[in-house]
Amino acid sequence: MANNHLPGPHRKIIHIDMDAFFASVEQLDNPELRGKPIAVGGSEDRGVVAAASYEARKYGVRSAMSSALAKKKCPDLIFVKHNFKRYKAVSRQVREIFNYYTDLVEPLSIDEAFLDVTANQHGHESATEIASEIRQKIFEQTKLTASAGISINKFMAKIASDINKPNGQMTIKPHEVLLFLERLPISKFYGVGKVTAEKMNSWGIYNGYQLKQHSLEFLVQTFGKSGQHFYNIVRGIHNSPVQPDRIRKSVGTERTFAKNLVHQDDIVSSLFKISTTTADRLCQNNSKGKTITLKIKYNDFSVQTRSKTIQNFTQSKELIYENIIELLNQKALNLPVRLLGVTVSNLEIEEERNLQTNHQLKLSF
């Protein structure tokens, strides 16, 4: 057996994940959809599934799957148009529950977050009990269920939250971490995708114990920068703190069309609308950006992207649109267009934070 010494210090981290959030909200609001396989987003013939109910997941329907493939897997699948305004309202309710227990809340998305409850608002000693209370309050206030993982760091808490879904929780205590990781299939490691898992399998690595037998040098040589990460996590080492002020790195808008766009005028008109929506979102987030990116997906599902970094930060829809059209004119559009996207990154708020951090580092020496 490998060395089972687990380095400290440890935090009390909870990962909360709302169960099939978009789909569950739709089933809550529309009783006729309850117990049925539904997909939120897209349409029966076009688009992409944003979320699938657990009834649909039994057929293999997953988020980010094309609507056509989802319908093929589940012929009785019901497609529901998304209602982001409603989802955001529920998300705010859930966030208020989190904040009752701790100020250290790091949202990962609209439906999941990390909480550091090591030093919580009410002096609770048990993170497991806090997670139970949070899940109960979420259900009482929203009538929706959530799953939770509790452990010593974000990596372990994230893995734990997937074990007893839906509507359950799992605690992995400090003395359980290393043995748990050694037994965990490599495909279940958070952050190890299908391609990486297959590569690991080719080296005879199917679980944490087998991963642990390889040296840091081997892992870096074989997996590049990720090698250090794999070396650490299988030993229970993940020092990333819960960051309540996570900085948004980009703001963007994508649109999948009911019919492919083949005429330049239609593409240009659509890009104006998408650029305007992106600019509006920048204003809502009080952000400006320098890097503007155009994304085009064709009817054969091939994707092209092209970016341009301008001199000054902007949230102007006119300036964004002007640069998007310039990027469009640099492309040869040889196929019908299925999807268009406009993203603004390299945000001003991000750069300001980096400058503040650098300043603080200098002051500390």
Query: Do 256 and 349 have their domain in common?
Result: yes
Confidence at residue 244, expressed as pLDDT on a 0 to 100 scale:
87
pLDDT of residue 6: 65
Co-location of 152 and 129 in the same domain: yes
Select which of 44, 55, 112, 176 is catalytic: 112
The yes-or-no answer on residue 112 being catalytic is: yes
98 and 144 fall within a common domain? yes
Residues 346 and 275 in one domain: yes
26, part of any domain = yes
Query: Which has the closest alpha carbon to 146: 156, 137, 158, 157?
Result: 137
* Whether residue 92 sits in one domain with residue 80: no
* 131 and 152 assigned to the same domain: yes
Phi (first) and psi of residue 147, to 5 degrees: -110, 155
Q: What is the CATH number of the domain that holds 118?
A: 3.30.70.270
Residue 151 forms part of a structural domain: yes
pLDDT computed for residue 248 by the predictor: 67
Number of other CB atoms surrounding residue 309 within 10 Å: 12
Q: Give the mean pLDDT per block of 10 residues along the chain (365 residues).
A: 58 96 97 96 77 96 89 95 92 94 91 92 87 97 97 96 95 95 93 90 96 96 92 92 78 88 92 93 85 93 91 93 92 86 83 41 31
Instruction: Give the CATH number, domain containing residue 200.
Output: 1.10.150.20
Strands (E), the chain: 13-18, 38-40, 51-52, 78-80, 105-109, 112-116, 146-151, 169-171, 250-261, 289-298, 303-314, 337-347
Give yes or no: residues 57 and 121 share one domain. no
User: Are 282 and 315 found together in one domain?
Assistant: yes
Whether 201 is covered by a domain: the verdict is yes
Q: Does a structural domain hold residue 245?
A: no
22-55 burial: b if 16+ Cβ within 10 Å, else e: bbbbbbeeeeebeeebbbbbbeeebbbbbbbbbb
251 phi and psi, to 5 degrees?
-130, 130
Q: Is the pTM of this model over 0.85?
A: no
Angle, helices 84-101/21-29, rounded to nearest 10 degrees: 110
Q: Give pLDDT, residue 355.
A: 39
Query: What is residue 23's predicted lDDT score, i.e. its pLDDT?
Result: 96
Token pair of 61, please? 């329907």
Residue where one domain finishes, among candidates 150, 176, 202: 176
In whole angstroms, give the CA distance from residue 290 to residue 49. Answer: 31
Examine residue 244 and state whether it is found in any structural domain, yes or no: no
- The CA-atom distances, in angstroms, between 254 and each of 69, 86, 232 are 20, 20, 36
**Do 25 and 77 fall into the same domain?**
yes
Q: What is the CATH number of the domain that holds 290?
A: 3.30.1490.100
> In this structure, is residue 243 part of a structural domain?
no
Q: Are residues 195 and 172 in the same domain?
A: no
Total number of domains constituting the chain: 4
Residue 138 is assigned to a structural domain of this protein = yes
Which H or E run includes 25? helix 21-29
Whether residues 100 and 194 share a domain: the answer is no
Tell me the residue range of the domain where 201 lies.
186-233
Beta carbons of 260 and 336 less than 8 angstroms apart: yes
Answer whether residue 240 is part of any domain.
no
Same domain, 153 and 134: yes
